[in-house]
Chains A and B, each alone.
Chain A
Amino acid sequence: MSSPAPKSPEQSDKSRKYDRQIRLWGEHGQSLLESSTICLLNATALGCEVLKSLVLPGIGGFTIVDGNVVTEDDLGINFFLDASFLGQSKARACMQLLQELNTDVNGDFVDESVDWILSNRPAFFDTFDVVIASNLNEKALWGLSDRLWEANIPFIYCRSLGFFGSIRLQIKEHCVIESHPDNRQYDLRLEQPFPALQKHFESTEITSKVPWLLVLNKFLQVWRQKYGGHFPANYKQKSELKEMIRAAMTADEENYEEAIKAVNTALGGGNVPSSIKSIFQDNACTNLNKQSSPFWIITKALKEFVENDNNGLLPLPGVLPDMTADTEPYITLQNIYRQQALHDADNVYRKCQKYLKELGLPEDTISEKTVRLFCKEAAGLAVLRGTKISDENAKSSNILSFVDDLEIQGTLAEHYVALRAYERFVSECGNVPGECYVENDVKELKTVASKMLSDWGVHASISDDLIHEICRYGGSEIHSISAFIGGCVAQEVIKIVTKQYKPIDNTFLYNAITSETTTFKL
């Protein structure tokens, strides 16, 4: 089959500049990123490091809110300031030096404090895709948490204090289609071959030139005949199947070797994982309404397809791993999988159209392309439901399950409580613990922490060493700790905006002294 000489597509300047990241989140991820606007509250070094790793990959725009002016202290921590800005608005200075990193990005600033915005312009936040904050006192943090929860705007609060850091994500609901699992399992349907595959199996002669899938299927059927139609489930049974294939080898056929290697991983495709089962049972899926997002409408269609049309199996992703074989038998097999995947996706798409009609929503709410992607990624769909930061003090909060234990000392849960006590100290005392006098503040911070724990009704306590270390820091922000947390936060923002990869759920802690991190759900 000859075709006219193809012409190289023009590579746009942007496409070349962002090449190394588009290879990860694709053109569609990049365009979501480019249309996002991010708000940063308080131009700390940490906040600016977050923005740096967002401006570089090309978000649409950002706004910095900070009511302070640049001081000499700031120059030693924040890279996005220099001496020429001393005494001027910190929000504007950081905005200028950050925007300069990438002319595609719009920068803006407001030189007012977070407290002022909260009380005078509460609707200010509503237009942003994500709000990021650091260095708030407890009162401002709770006020902001309430406001952003109500406005349904994802909020990340991050801390960098001495050699400790933390990230807390507050998001009502977050749905991920492309979770990009690290070790993708191929879904090959060997146990329940669809008709076209079954026909192909029956009509193809097994030679040394065909893909291992056909070899494996042949011996799988032999094994099943011996064992009453069952499939090999345990190590012993799989080993026997492997031996069976090995015994049939006449030379060192590569496809037989590959079939033996694949025995352990080739089975089990198509089953609905428990994570997807719970998404199917989610209220948002079972009770569609006019406000339902495309994600939930497609999920409902998917559920109906799985339960009513496909024997309880997911739609076929249609992706085949490479297998040593001649070109023709491989491509033929690949096309059989791809055709079936299109067929399954088309069925799901028609169900989506039916639901859209029932809900009185326009047909183009959901495209065929989206449904195809959805079906291909069905086994990895993820839904994250978050909690409100200001609820952490409630008796029902998850925090109690982490601290209601005398063993918290020496764990990162202890650090979390200590960082929370630090914020309460700032709210109550109006200064930072250890700013001037370490010893006095050690006593005071200990009291604040004990009171906080007893208010939660738990008997745990914070070690004197940790209290002392926090006071020793005197509110210090250390650049490399901010840069570490800043990079992490930026990536979480990218995950939220592109709706790809799974974000943290929902609290991350970093101890740079020991190089330990942990994540827990509050």
Chain B
Amino acid sequence: MAADILSVLSGSPNPLTSLNSKRWNSLRHILERPGPFCKSDFTASAENLEALQTVLKILVIGAGGLGCELLKDLAMMGFGNLHVIDMDTIELSNLNRQFLFRRKDLGLSKAECAARFINERVPTCHVTSHFAKIQDFDESFYSQFHIIVCGLDSIVARRWINGMLISMLDYNEDGSVDPSTIIPLIDGGTEGFKGNARVILPGLTSCIECTLDLFPPQVTYPLCTIANTPRLPEHCIEYVKIIQWEKENPFSAPLDGDDPQHVAWVYERSLERANQYNISGITYRLVQGVIKNIIPAVASTNAVIAAACATEVFKLGTSCYDNMNNYMNFNDIEGIYTYTYPPEKSDTCLACSNTPQDLNVDDPNTTTLDDLIKILCESQRFQLKSPGLTTIIDGKNKTLYMSAVKSIEQQTRANLTMSLAELGLYDGASIMVSDVNMPTTIQLILKYHPNEVEMK
């Protein structure tokens, strides 16, 4: 890949003269001296630094806890051309770790502020900012980058960019991936004192979708518990959040976890409800945590995980060492613990298997379209949000159900209660599925197993 990168020409934001600066002395030792542990195709040469400074273009997704660290790390590792995307603005609770922002920046774009800070501090690096969602860009945007690094807190966004990079792959006739179409994805994630960093080579290694079960499951409480038999302070808060807010609509607005008046209202009602049931433990902090689904975060874990990611970007960009293989877990609750291993690439991965996957159904006469959608949303394998389904019947496209567009939703709603057989879906029929988790539609093949237990 290194040769590939060198052949790509792009405008350098930095004058080449800076390559002679003494500031590069440390990196030079690594890049210009051969070593016994280097990757076999590594050539020690001054061109390596030149490539970092002028050729390689890296995209950082997220300018939050991990993103700020990543931008700093990459800029200090000699990368000259970075882009950053983030749709969020800066909040007070970010300042305990997102160190490129100050009090005066509250309310401003994270991407723009972070880029400005790095550009001022590190003259050998130019960061281009995009105050936007990743979904606002298409293949033509993503294809300009040599490596993409993610510092995200959202699984939806991770799946989306993973799907995007896989959709950009070309395959040879023998089914193997054309290596020139691979854009490596380095992904970091943190939660409290735990984190992980991984290297994904789309089509070659396991991807985000292959390992969906590595993400911790979301905590949910059954509605009947919340409504009738609350036992925990969280149950009381959820009741106010889900039921009471809807009913009383105190501010004629949807509940906003960032509006202190809204949080105060939920706090007060939750405390009332908790007192009524003799439940203790309601605090303002807990109320906020439940409303916003807050994940604890510290500077140190973000620093560690971003650094591990930046090290891998550097290895990819310079070929100086082999990459880690390929997933590292980190935890410093008790001492400091890491474990690096390669999760297996799944043959039945929805995103990277490059073959339409089977969707098993017991009985087409009793399974309704609604049942099918439930499987897509609730099963560990799919975890979709609001899938849209189309198929081809007698050579014609037919929309089975789509909730995103109101008029189509109304037209197709009646299909939900119909059985698959009634809808004319036969064993082996193709269904095209779209969802917010995926940038492109995926094809699923219906497999009927009447009178059988569903098989994997």
Q: Which residues of A contact B (CB under 8 A)?
A: 1-3, 5-9, 11, 13, 16-24, 45, 49, 52-53, 56-58, 71-73, 75-77, 79, 82-83, 100-103, 162-163, 167, 179-182, 322-327, 330-331, 334, 434, 438, 464-465, 468-469, 472-474, 476-484, 486-488, 490-492, 494, 501-505, 508, 512-517, 519
Extra inter-chain contacts (18) besides given A1-B276, A483-B303, CB under 8 Å: A6-B267, A11-B284, A20-B97, A21-B296, A24-B192, A79-B121, A101-B99, A163-B311, A182-B334, A327-B229, A327-B278, A330-B229, A331-B279, A469-B37, A472-B33, A478-B77, A504-B335, A515-B328
Q: Are A20 and B296 in contact (CB under 8 A)?
A: yes
- Are A71 and B308 within 8 A (Cβ)? no
Interface residues of B in 286-329 (CB under 8 A from A): 288-289, 294-304, 306-308, 310-311, 314, 321-322, 324-325, 328
In the complex, whether B395 has a CB less than 8 A from a CB of chain A is no
Give A18 to B271 CA distance when docked, in angstroms: 24
Which residues of the other chain, B, contact A502 by a CB distance below 8 angstroms?
333-335
Q: Which of B4-12, B21-29, B169-177, B370-378 forms part of the interface with chain A?
A: B21-29
Asked whether, in the complex, the Cβ of A76 is within 8 Å of the Cβ of B76, the reply is yes
Q: How far is the CB of B337 from chain A (nearest CB, A)?
A: 8
List of A residues within 8 angstroms of B26 by Cβ: 73, 76-77, 476-478
A248 to B263, CA, bound (A): 46
Chain A residue nearest in CB terms to B302 = A487
A501 to B336 alpha-carbon distance, docked (Å) = 11
Contact status B76-A79, CB under 8 Å: yes
> Given that A83-B123, A501-B334 are known contacts, is A162 also in contact with B285, CB under 8 Å in the complex?
no
Q: Which of A23, A102, A438, A483 has the most CB of B within 10 A?
A: A483
Asked, given contacts A53-B303, A469-B37, A504-B336, whether A82 binds B29 with beta carbons under 8 Å apart, the answer is no
Q: Closest residue to A333 on the B side, CB-wise?
A: B231
Contact, CB under 8 Å: B92 / A17: yes
Which residues of chain A have C-beta atoms less than 8 A from B403's C-beta? none
- Minimum CB–CB distance from A381 to chain B (whole Å) comes to 13
Residues of B within 8 A of A9 (CB): 284
Cβ-based interface call for B382 (8 A): no
Query: Which of B24, B33, B289, B299 is in CB contact (< 8 Å) with A438?
Result: B33
Counting chain A CB atoms within 10 Å of each CB, the highest count among B276, B310, B335, B340 belongs to B335
Q: Which residues of B contact A (CB under 8 A)?
A: 21-27, 29-30, 33-37, 69, 72-73, 75-77, 92-93, 95-97, 99, 102-103, 121-123, 192-193, 225, 229-232, 260, 263-264, 267-268, 271-272, 275-279, 284-285, 288-289, 294-304, 306-308, 310-311, 314, 321-322, 324-325, 328, 331-338, 340
> How distant is the Cα of A504 from the Cα of B334 in the complex, in angstroms?
7
A6 touches B272 (CB 8 A): yes
> Once the chains are docked, how many angstroms separate the CA of A17 from the CA of B299?
13
Chain B residues in 8 Å Cβ range of A517: 336-338
**Cβ–Cβ < 8 Å partners of A23 in chain B:** 285, 289, 294, 296
Taking CB as reference atom, which chain A residue is nearest B33? Answer: A472
**A483, B33: Cβ atoms under 8 Å?**
no
**Chain A nearest Cβ from B63, distance in angstroms:** 16
B residues near A505, Cβ cutoff 8 Å: 335
Residue of B27, B268, B278, B307 ringed by the most chain A CB atoms within 10 A: B307
Question: Bound state CA distance, A52 and B263, in angstroms?
Answer: 32
A325 to B225 alpha-carbon distance, docked (Å): 9
Complex contact A324–B225 (CB within 8 A): yes
Q: Could you tell me if B29 and A434 are in contact, using CB atoms closer than 8 angstroms?
A: yes
Residue of B102, B302, B308 with highest tally of chain A CB at under 10 A: B308
- Tell me whether A490 and B303 are in contact (CB under 8 A): yes
Point out the residue from A71, A468, A491 that lies within 8 Å of B332, measured CB to CB: A491
For this complex, 11 residue pairs linking A to B, each with C-beta atoms less than 8 Å apart, are A23-B285, A23-B294, A53-B298, A57-B97, A480-B76, A481-B307, A483-B304, A484-B303, A491-B298, A491-B300, A517-B338
Our pick among A13, A473, A479 for the contact of B77 (Cβ within 8 Å) is: A479
Closest Cβ neighbor of A493 among chain B residues: B300
